[in-house]
Amino acid sequence: MIILGIESSCDETSLAVYDSVNRSVKATFTSSQAELHSKFGGVVPEVASRNHILKIESLFEQCMTEAGITPQDIDAIGVTNAPGLIGALFVGVSFAKALGYALKIPVIPVNHLSAHILASELTNQELKAPYLALIISGGHTHIYDVDEAYNFELLARTIDDAAGESFDKVAKMLGLGYPGGPAIEKLAESGDENKVTLPIAIKKKPDFSFSGLKTAVLNKINDKSESDADIAASFQKTVAETLTLKTLRMAESLGRNKIVVAGGVACNGYIRRAFMEKQGYEVFFPSPRLCTDNGDMIAYAASKFFGQRKFASLDETAHDRMQQINK
């Protein structure tokens, strides 16, 4: 079965063609808006939506050429319908519905968060549920339990800033620009991660909180008693400790020995190493390219959920907030 995946939830327009029989991605193209939004210090929703409109058709044509197929060869379309920027989501959903209607093929709505989790299975083809999954991105820091039937249960979430959001905000405080994750990681390489003591919030509860950490970093910056590199390294270490502490504690309580870590922040090499160093668990990550938003994961998720036949009608719409994943 040939599935087209469409992702437009934030600032990447990404389309991919996935062959579910051979479990291979035949084509994938992404247009990133990171440079476009960097001058604003973050994603501007209206700018993102307009750029998706400008890019999506040409990316579709490139996918057809690269995969060596025509639109008539597509068997189904998977499209992100939640969560994300509502205007950006509408672009992808509208394109998918129009194409599905024209080709008389089913459209499968895909929750962006489930796709991030399942991206690990594209990289690690031996991986199968059940497992515990941590999503760390600019908008989410959530822990899900994924059972054998691929039911997703939300167990913990951030009560304020997401991990990726805190990276962006701390980077801005340090004058590093946007996106903040890679900039913090690079600066931290020359710093002492043990130089600055920073707090881990709500240690005894499963939920995450990063606003207090952000405030503590701001106070250290204003003190001017520590170097920016030491602050960046200590901040990155504290985020990694927070993520590993809460995730492994949850895995132990549920008896899960397989852990998936996914989402844009999962590209961070320090955080990857922090998880890999923990004993007694198998930890799986998507490849760095599949950690960020991509059409591959949407097409793959659609292939997993196709059998449930929960296809979109012409009334299907986008949802900016939908944290609970329903297959």
Rounded Cα gap, residues 178 and 100, in angstroms: 36
What CATH superfamily is the domain 2-116+291-308?
ATPase, nucleotide binding domain (3.30.420.40)
Residues 291 and 140 sit within 8 Å (Cβ to Cβ): no
pLDDT level of residue 326 (50, 70, 90 thresholds):
low
* Distance separating alpha carbons of residues 99 and 95, to the nearest angstrom: 6
Q: Evaluate whether 15 touches 5 at the Cβ level (below 8 Å).
A: yes
Q: Is 138 annotated as belonging to a binding site?
A: yes
In whole angstroms, what is the distance from residue 269 CA to residue 288 CA?
10
CB atoms within 10 A of CB 217: 23
Q: What is the pLDDT of residue 177?
A: 84
Looking at residues 85-109, what average pLDDT do you find? Answer: 97
- Per residue in 123-136, pLDDT (tens digit) is 999 999 999 999 99
The token duo for 124 is 């690690």
Across the chain, mean pLDDT equals: 94
CA atoms within 13 A on the CB side of 314: 4
Residue 36: the pLDDT is 80
Q: What is the pLDDT of residues 242-288, one digit of tens each?
A: 999 999 999 999 999 999 999 999 999 999 999 999 999 999 999 99
* pLDDT attached to residue 293: 95
pLDDT digits (tens, 9 = 90+) for 171-213: 999 999 888 999 999 999 999 999 999 999 877 899 999 999 9
Confirm if 234 and 194 have CB atoms less than 8 A apart: yes
* pLDDT in the model for residue 324: 60
Is 231 within any annotated ligand binding site? no
Task: Determine if residue 101 is left, alpha or beta; phi over 0 gives left, psi from -120 to 50 gives alpha, anything else beta.
Answer: alpha
Side chain identity at residue 168, one-letter code:
D
- Rounded to an integer, the average pLDDT of 6-18 is 97
The larger pLDDT score, comparing residue 35 to residue 321, is at 35
Cβ within 8 Å of residue 213, ≥6 positions away: 166, 198, 199, 200, 201, 235, 238, 239, 242
Q: Is 191 marked as binding a ligand?
A: no
Q: Is the pLDDT of residue 145 over 80?
A: yes
| Residue 58, pLDDT above cutoff 70 | yes
> Would you say 225 is a known binding-site residue?
no
On whether 136 is known to bind a ligand per the annotation, the reply is yes
Using 50, 70 and 90 to split pLDDT, how confident is the model at 322? low
Q: How many Å apart are CA 22 and CA 249, to the nearest integer?
A: 37
Residue 298 annotated as lining a ligand binding site? no
The answer to whether the 2-116+291-308 and 124-287 domains have the same CATH topology is yes
- Domains of the chain, residue spans: 2-116+291-308, 124-287
Residue 116 labeled ligand binder: yes
Pair 195, 234: CB distance under 8 Å: yes
3-class DSSP string for the chain: CEEEEEECCCCEEEEEEEECCCCEEEEEEEEECHHHHHCCCCCCHHHHHHHHHHHHHHHHHHHHHHHCCCHHHCCEEEEEEECCCHHHHHHHHHHHHHHHHHHCCCEEEEEHHHHHHHHHHHHCCCCCCCEEEEEECCCCEEEEEECCCCCEEEEECECCCCHHHHHHHHHHHCCCCCCHHHHHHHHHCCCCCCCCCCCCCCCCCCCECCHHHHHHHHHHHHHCCCCHHHHHHHHHHHHHHHHHHHHHHHHHHHCCCEEEEECHHHHCHHHHHHHHCCCCCEEECCCHHHHCCCHHHHHHHHHHHHHHCCCCCCCCCCCCCCCCCCC
Per CATH, which fold does 124-287 belong to? Answer: Nucleotidyltransferase; domain 5 (3.30.420)
320 annotated as a binding-site residue: no
Asked if pLDDT for residue 64 goes beyond 70, the answer is yes
Does residue 252 have a known ligand-binding role? no
* For residue 316, pLDDT beyond 80: no
Cα–Cα distance, 126 to 294 (Å, whole number): 21
| pLDDT higher than threshold 70 for residue 23 | yes
Measured CA to CA, the distance from residue 265 to residue 208 in angstroms comes to 15
Residue 293 marked ligand-binding = yes
